[in-house]
Structure 1
Amino acid sequence: MAGKGQTKRKDKDRIVLRTGEGQRPNGTYEYRWTDRSGTRRRVYAKTLELLREKEEEIQKDKCDGIKAEARYVTVNDVFDMWRQLKRGLKDNTFQNYQYMYNMFVRPDFGKTRVSSLKKSDAKRFYNTLADERGLQVSTIDSVHTVLHQVLDMAVDDAYLRVNPSDNVLKELKQSHIFKTEKRRGLTKPEQELLLDFLQRNHTYNHWYPIIAVMVGTGLRVGEVTGLRWCDIDLEEGLVDVNHTLVYYDHRETEGKKGCYFNVNTPKTKAGTRQVTMLDFVRDAFIQEREYQEANDIHCAVTIDGYTDFIFVNRFGATQHQGTLNKAIRRIIRDCNDEVLLREEAEPVLLPHFSCHSLRHTFTTRMCEAGVNIKVIQDALGHADISTTLNIYADVTKELKKDEFAGLDLYFKKSPQQNITSPAL
């Protein structure tokens, strides 16, 4: 309110202007104020009506504790702060988060000012990733994982009232029919075909031990390739899982670039565990040791202080997932060629599978054997039992289907019984 004798300021249309308002020489309007940090801020609008709408938003932001600088901060700015402050992640996970953000968020969506973000903007962004860029749902899930954390920080730091990406991924999955194939383990006949082929075939016999260990322990590929001789006890029949071997692009870690190995501890306490050896798993370890002794192969690498790795190539270097999956593709091809040459009526053939499929194979065998769900969770190193339950549900669903198919066949083959009613 103007003081006594003070002339009220007006615009060119003789409309009285409020404190902080002003009209510029070109006819547009501006509003100036001082934020909580003492910094002078200003906003502009073409008309006084639009300016006062912005003033109302500013006053609401002040009441809600939203920072004035949010109007100038972009999503990329918040990500850069998140990147500097984020702790508690494995380096390969952190590098993957940065890659996902820089590849898919930073170029466009990341330039959006935080203050203008709405849920519809997040939905539009996710739909663009799915419809225009054709990303798989698993990739969009990875993008969401990091973006949601970044926007959570924006809420915590009073740049936003709510996280606009909340529930957006769930809605995307409901509205889109993504073509995803559930991973499945090998059936028992497929598993027997694979292991028998590897044991008999001279070309691929050296791959038998590591594949047999994956089939018979359910270890993740990094856990298997990271095993050292000191991690197994052949007498007690135990495998001690306490670390994992990872191979990834370090990009900008401490100025280093390129792909190389690191040893990481498990992400959760559940990942550190002991797995009991089945007989064929123990035999596979012994076969690997005898093969290396016969061919004078020794571990020749030390990674983060770890050495004496069990599964090494002929040069003494550790194995990794890419090499194993390439070998598996060749094994599938040559094994199936051999089966087809036999011209059997209903041949068992190996499906397309990867290292991770062998983990599912182990899980499937445990479900088929009726192993307690908690034992399965502990053996697989799942921190959350819901992960185990989801796999268990898928496997038991298939088992029920097979059981009822067999029951249906039994009824069809059963001779018709003539049932006579007893005399009254």
Structure 2
Amino acid sequence: MARKKRTDSRGRVLKVGESQNKDGRYCYRWSDALGKRSTIYALDLAELRAKEKQIQRDIEDGISTKGGDITLNQLFEIYMETKSNIRKSTYVNYRNYWNVSVKNSIIGEMKVNQIKQIHIKRLYADLKQRGIEGSSIQTYHVLISSVFQLAVDSDLIRKNPCRNCRKEIKVNPSNKKALTVNEQQNFLDFVKNSNVYKIYYPILNFALSTGLRIGEIIGLRLDEIDMKENVIHIRRQLIYKDFGDGYKFHIEPPKSQSGNRDVPLTSAARESLIEQKKLDLILARRAREQAVDGVKGFVFINSRGMPILPFNFNNMLKNITRAYNKQESQAAAKEHREPELLPHISAHILRHTACTRMAEAGIDPKVLQVIMGHADIGITMNIYNHTDSERIQGEMKKLENIM
């Protein structure tokens, strides 16, 4: 006698593994490759069979049918466990990025296999509404996408929901413009002749003469400068981070492999170092010098014998700019002329200005890439492609002279 087929309350024949509960819900049970039983539910038979179809497809393609049930925050913790070889500062940055962008967001506690592209786009829209810059959202996107890619590569989900979401992020053009030759000279002249700020002249002139990153400048040691061969050996940088034991200075390798380099010691940079040494002797700074990670001998230290904080460096630039603009505005008013004001200046703008001066001098792009420690030649080429109005006017004057 043939076995009676199982049917639902409407008389429809149910497939193997399907059943209907007394409350009307439909149920499907199956075993994975390891023999582990799993169950899903649906309100109607069509919905159940759509889920069954996806499960069978996942099984055939080797996709875990239950692995994607972990939350995105849980997946992030697994991802971080795979990053044990990254430097501490990067590890801390990843956690900070996640805490800002994802942890308490709409997707943080969602199951990984339930997150779709629309959720990612909504997250980015929420971040933008909170006033977070597009460039920062792009940074968060790279991390979030990497976390999902781990799930894809581990066969927990079929595809990365972050795919094609980056184009939704609008990034405003950078307003970090290099100082013109005139602005640079006005800036240095003001600092050099100021009773308040002249003690900062050596480090500022050094920054504009070398194009080093602020972390490389404050991390530079006396024994890494070869006055005989006129070479600066960049082998480290100083960062000010909280690695779980409070904010303090830490020594790290340069930003990238290309950051580990030798930079020519120009006459201007050399003079800055000599002036800094004289200043240290006058102010007796070396007697108060403190170690960072057991290391001493940093070139630029403050009155307490410690390297200068990057925040304080930028704050000092802000104060100098404000003081200069006030003095220049008053002088211009007396002389009945337009004031030559300075724009916003930061440590990065000093580096960008130094790079621009080198490009204007005709230094080969590949050579400049090495000097600046750019990992990507495209970053260097952007300096060459960006021609300011002062240079355009200069070239046009050359043309007028010829004609």
**One-letter identity of the residue aligned with 1:147:** I
Q: 2:141 aligned with 1:134, yes or no? A: no
Cα distance change on mapping 1:71 and 1:282 into 2, 3 Å: closer
Match of 2:370 in 1: 378
TM-score (norm 1): 0.89
1:331 matched to 2:320: yes
Cα separation, 1, equivalents of 2:149 and 2:389: 40
Q: Paired residue for 1:189, among 166, 182, 185?
A: 182
Query: Given that residues 216 and 237 in structure 2 are in contact (C-alpha distance below 8 angstroms), is that contact kept between their aligned partners in structure 1?
Result: yes
> Are 1:314 and 2:303 an aligned pair?
yes
* Local SS of the residue matching 1:111: coil
Which amino acid is 1:165 matched to?
C
1:91 corresponds to: 88
RMSD: 2.0
Shift of 1:407: 6.4
Cα shift at 1:185: 1.3
Letter in 2 for 1:134: G
Taking the TM superposition and a 5 Å limit, the aligned residue runs for 1:148-297 are 148-169=145-166, 171-173=167-169, 176=170, 178-250=171-243, 256-297=244-285
Distance apart, 1:37 and its partner CA: 3.0
Q: CA deviation at 1:397?
A: 5.9
Residues 124-170 of structure 1: per-residue CA shift (max 9 Å, x gap)? 3222222x22210121012112101101101100112222212311x
CA contact (8 A) 1:222 1:320 kept: no
C-alpha distance in 2, partners of 1:402/1:148? 45
Task: Give distance in 1, aligned partners of 2:116 and 2:194.
Answer: 60
After TM superposition, give the deviation of residue 409 of structure 1 in Å: 7.7
1:215–1:361 contact (8 Å) kept in structure 2:
yes
Residue 257 of structure 1: SS of its match in structure 2?
A: coil
CA distance in 2, matches of 1:164, 1:364: 40
* Cα 1:157/1:307, change in 2 over 3 Å: same
The one-letter code sitting in structure 1 at the alignment partner of 2:112 is V
> Secondary structure at the residue paired with 1:382?
coil
Task: Tell me by how many angstroms 1:353 deviates.
Answer: 1.1
Percentage identity across aligned positions?
A: 34
2:34 partner amino acid: S
Q: Name the counterpart of 2:111.
A: 113
CA–CA distance in structure 2, aligned partners of residues 160 and 51 of structure 1: 20
Instruction: State the TM-score, normalizing by the size of structure 2.
Output: 0.93
Contact 1:30/1:51 (8 A) holds in 2: yes
| C-alpha distance after superposition, 1:371-390 (max 9, x if no partner) | 11011101100111111112
2:66 match: secondary structure:
helix
8 Å Cα contact 1:97-1:142 kept in structure 2: no
Of 399-408 and 259-268, the range deviating more from structure 2: 399-408
What pairs up with 1:350-369 in 2 under 5 angstroms?
350-369=342-361
Provide the rounded CA distance (Å) in 2 between the counterparts of 1:37 and 1:264. 46
Pick closer, same or farther for the CA change 1:409–1:258 going to 2, 3 Å. Answer: farther
Distance in 2 (CA, whole Å) between partners of 1:259 and 1:335 is 32
Shift of 1:357: 0.3
**Aligned equivalents of 1:6, 1:267: Cα separation in 2:** 71
> Is the Cα–Cα contact under 8 Å of residues 68 and 157 in structure 2 kept in the other structure?
no
Structure-1 separation of matches of 2:164 and 2:225: 44
Tell me the distance in 2 between the aligned counterparts of 1:366 and 1:99: 36
Name the counterpart of 1:46: 43
Offset, 1:198: 1.5
Q: State the shift of 1:45 in Å.
A: 0.4
Is the partner of 1:263 in helix, strand or coil?
strand
1:12, CA displacement in angstroms? 2.0
Structure 1 unaligned segments of length 5 or more: list them.
Answer: 251-255, 415-424
Separation (CA, whole Å) in 1 of partners of 2:87 and 2:108: 24
Cα pair 2:216 2:254 within 8 Å, conserved: no
Counterpart CA distance in 1 for 2:149 and 2:307 is: 39
Q: For residue 246 of structure 1, give the secondary structure of its aligned residue in structure 2.
A: strand
SS at the partner of 2:108?
A: helix
Q: Residue 305 of structure 1: CA displacement? A: 3.3
Deviates more, 1:341-350 or 1:18-27: 341-350
SS of 2:232's partner is strand
Matched, 1:31 2:19: no
Partner of 1:82: 79
